[in-house]
Structure 1
Amino acid sequence: MASSGQATSLVISTDITMSMALSSTESSSKATSSFKDDKLVLAAKSDAASFVASAGDIRGARLEAAIRHIRQTLGNPGYSDLQLASAILAL
C-alpha cells in the first residue's frame, strides 16, 4: 500500500506532467498553439476551481467545453476530468 507521501507525489507529478502537456506547443500535431493562451481553456479556470474543490461534484459549462476541446485537440488523452481540471488551474 502506498503511503500518503507517495500518493501525493503521484498526484503532483501527474498534475505537473498534464500541465506541461497543456502548455506545450508540441503536445500533438494538432496542437498548434499553447493551451495557456487558449481563451476557451482560460475561461474555464473558475469552473475548474469549483470542480476540483468539490471533488467533481460541481461541473460548469465552461469546464465541460474546455475538457472537450482539450480531448479533441490532443486526440483524447487518457486523463480524467479531475486531472484535466487540475492542469487547467495550473496554467
Structure 2
Amino acid sequence: MNSVRLFGFAALLALATTASATSFVVTTDAVVGAIGATSDATSDVTSSLGDDKVVLAARDDAASFVASQGHIRGVRLEAALLHIRQQAPNLVADDLQLAQAILSL
C-alpha cells in the first residue's frame, strides 16, 4: 500500500508541475505578444515621425516627463502627443510610451 501511495503522489506532482509550467508559458506568451505589438506600433509611428519638427521639438519635454514619471508635462510634449495621435489614430500606447519613443529619435 505504501508504494501505491508513493506512485500516486509522484503522478500527482508530475501533473501539477506540468500544469503550472503550461500556464506560465501561456501567460508569458500573452504578455510578450502584447508588448511586442505595442513596441511594433510605436516604432512604426516614431520612424515615420522621426523628421517631424513638432515631435523633435518635444524631446526636452519628453525627457522631463519620463524622468518625473509623468508628473512634468510640458507644452511641447502635449503638442507632440496630440500630433502623434492625430497621425496614428489606431495607435495603442500611453503617454509615457510615446514620450520614451520621442526620446529614442
**TM-score, normalising length from structure 1?**
0.69
Is contact 1:45-1:89 (8 Å) kept? yes
Structure 1, 80-89 or 12-21: larger mean CA deviation: 12-21
Q: Which of 48, 52, 59 lines up with 2:66 in the alignment?
A: 52
Q: CA deviation at 1:19?
A: 2.9
Q: Aligned-pair RMSD on alpha carbons?
A: 2.3
1:81 and 2:95 matched: yes
Are the equivalent residues in 2 in contact too, given 1:43–1:62 (CA < 8 A)?
yes
Larger RCO (CA under 8 A, 6+ residues apart) = 1
Per-residue deviation, 1:14: 7.2
Per-residue deviation, 1:54: 0.3
1:70–1:76 Cα contact (<8 Å) kept: no
Counterpart residue number, 2:19: none
SS of the equivalent of 1:88 reads helix
Q: Which residue type is aligned with residue 89 of structure 1? A: L
Residue 41 of structure 1 corresponds to 55
The match for 2:45 is: 21
Identical counterparts, % of pairs: 58
Task: Provide the C-alpha distance between the structure 1 equivalents of 2:92 and 2:38, rounded to a whole number of angstroms.
Answer: 13
Runs of 5+ consecutive residues of structure 1 not aligned to the other structure: 1-5, 24-33
Equivalent residue, structure 1, for 2:8: none
Q: Which has the larger radius of gyration?
A: 2
